Chain A
């Protein structure tokens, strides 16, 4: 402490309840202390300190609160055994079970916490204590000693002299993270072409969601919207995953309302049939279903982040965080008059991913 520069003139360190630190006056003379250190306020005794009856009461309260915790534990156990979710997978039962388990366990733990705090506040010792604050910096002597310990260690290990050992150690530590790469690889495999492929391909019929009945082109009147899934979706191995890629919105508008293809766009002029347009329903932002179609403005709105796509401009993004237009599904009619895809999606539907490529 003696040589510590930060303590200044007060070698004993700041002490609580002392005369306090003098302020330095501009002329270098100490100002007189205009305020006496008030010190600690007088100790105020609690009723439980002075009245044995109150102390007994508090004791009873604490134990009652601890015993109340039993109720929560019992509620949890009863909920666990009386509301099994294995035999009834309905959502309502699951919600009730979760609610009872959570409230029971929460109440049990909460009561123990409340009881402990109440115990500490009413019955445990209540005297004031002063802890002096010490300088954080060690003395120069301690700092010198610490440096010497490290230098001695370096010297004794010979790491500076035996460079072969040192360099081989560095090399060993350097390749140690490689097993982590192998472990992370187990999280894979990389998506590959899975996100590029959907159930849509040439000749697949457009069917109604959810009952899977095919749609005639004549059924789609102007201003109407059909929610579409590919035929045979229910028979696929992962219907929900396939639906998340293949869901399509079918809209019929007056063909003259749609603006011509601009240069630089994919030539999708003949991808519609008589004003019937099929667009992916999966938002290119984070994949919510874009199905809010406004008949008058021909805008498609995503309910999650308000990305807005303009059907008259080939589902170009006109507002919101989405970056790419909704992919269009090329459609035509088969010999029986039903709508069919004439090819799969030209670009992967849905949100971006690393392997997708920047150009798409």
Chain B
């Protein structure tokens, strides 16, 4: 304490005190903050809250009874997984009427999303939010390898071999998947958002869905052996890079060949 006291008039003293204060406040917040509500144990109160949120935010397009209007499809039977995916990734509420719903900052907190999901799930049975055990990535090499095989067969044609996404028709595109959570990858396969087809549990089992998400997480965090991934777009960007570099080298050689020696 003596050393601290001796340095209390140091120019950086104020900064140190500020950092300590931030640490204490942040730590206390993370300990005291309430844990997020789970849709599985949705109470009637949650459903009621979800209905209010729905009426305030979604009914304009999806109708007062979620029956759908000319502006938006019906939500009866889409299930909690669809709500959790669309609202949880920021796609809904829609920012603009474009060929594809844009991802943007999420507009609701986890509890509100769970309440809306509970309300939509209460309308009709539909795909549920995946169980807790499938919401994390696996680091088992066997499962990642299996995920790679399944991804190549079912997903890579749209989302690219390492999941960086790709173009579709008329302004639509398949989004980048490398930094998507295991839960949202799972829910997208289960519900088939927008242009994406459905991959139900009879086609790709829940474990296999987790394998695919684990593979995406693995390639997303894998360092690039050459130090430069060039967007992981494959032969196009790599070829352009090599071609431009090669042409530059040839131009350099030609200039040197043509220059007079001093």
Contact = CB atoms under 8 A, between A and B. Distances in A.
Contacts of B33: none
Contacts of B198: 221-225, 295
Contacts of A224: 192, 197-200, 203
A296 B203 contact: no
A209 B202 CA distance: 13
A47 to B, nearest CB: 6
Interface in B149-179: 149, 153-154, 157-158, 166, 168-169, 172, 174
A293 B257 contact: no
Main secondary structure of the interface of B (DSSP, over half): loop
A208 B203 contact: yes
A117 to B, nearest CB: 6
B172 A227 contact: no
Closest 4 CB pairs of A and B: A219-B202, A225-B197, A224-B198, A294-B195
B197 A293 contact: yes
A251 B197 contact: yes
Interface of A: 44, 46-48, 117, 121-122, 126, 208-210, 215-216, 218-227, 251, 289, 291-297, 299, 301, 303, 306, 308, 319
B262 interface: yes
Contact of B192 (A219, A220, A295): A295
Given A216-B202, A224-B200, A293-B197, A210 B149 contact: yes
A299 B169 CA distance: 9
A45 B194 CA distance: 74
B196 interface: yes
A117 B257 CA distance: 7
Q: How large is the interface on B (under 10, 10 to 19, 20 to 34, 35 or more residues)?
A: 20 to 34
A209 B153 contact: yes
7 contacts: A44-B260, A46-B261, A46-B262, A210-B149, A220-B203, A295-B196, A306-B169
B166 A295 contact: no
Interface in B89-116: none
Contacts of A126: 261
A227 B197 contact: no
A131 to B, nearest CB: 19
Interface of B: 149, 153-154, 157-158, 166, 168-169, 172, 174, 192, 194-200, 202-203, 256-257, 260-262
Nearest to B157: A291
Nearest to B160: A303
Main secondary structure of the interface of A (DSSP, over half): mixed
A240 to B, nearest CB: 14
Contacts of B261: 46, 48, 121-122, 126
A219 B203 CA distance: 7
Contacts of B257: 117
A236 to B, nearest CB: 18
Contacts of B172: 294
B101 to A, nearest CB: 12
Contacts of B192: 223-224, 295
A316 B196 CA distance: 21
B153 A295 contact: no
A219 B198 CA distance: 11
B200 to A, nearest CB: 5
Contacts of B194: 295-296
Contacts of A303: 157, 166
A295 B149 CA distance: 23
B169 to A, nearest CB: 6
A163 B203 CA distance: 80
Contacts of B153: 209-210, 227
Given A117-B257, A221-B202, A295-B197, 20 more contacts: A117-B256, A208-B203, A209-B153, A210-B149, A215-B202, A219-B202, A220-B203, A221-B198, A224-B192, A224-B203, A291-B157, A292-B158, A292-B168, A292-B174, A293-B197, A294-B168, A294-B169, A296-B194, A297-B195, A303-B157
B168 A225 contact: no
B104 to A, nearest CB: 21
A227 B198 CA distance: 12
B199 A292 contact: no
A85 to B, nearest CB: 17
Contacts of B199: 224-225
Contact of B169 (A121, A221, A297): A297
Given A227-B154, A292-B157, A308 B262 contact: no
Contacts of A46: 260-262
Nearest to A226: B203
B213 to A, nearest CB: 18
A48 B260 CA distance: 12
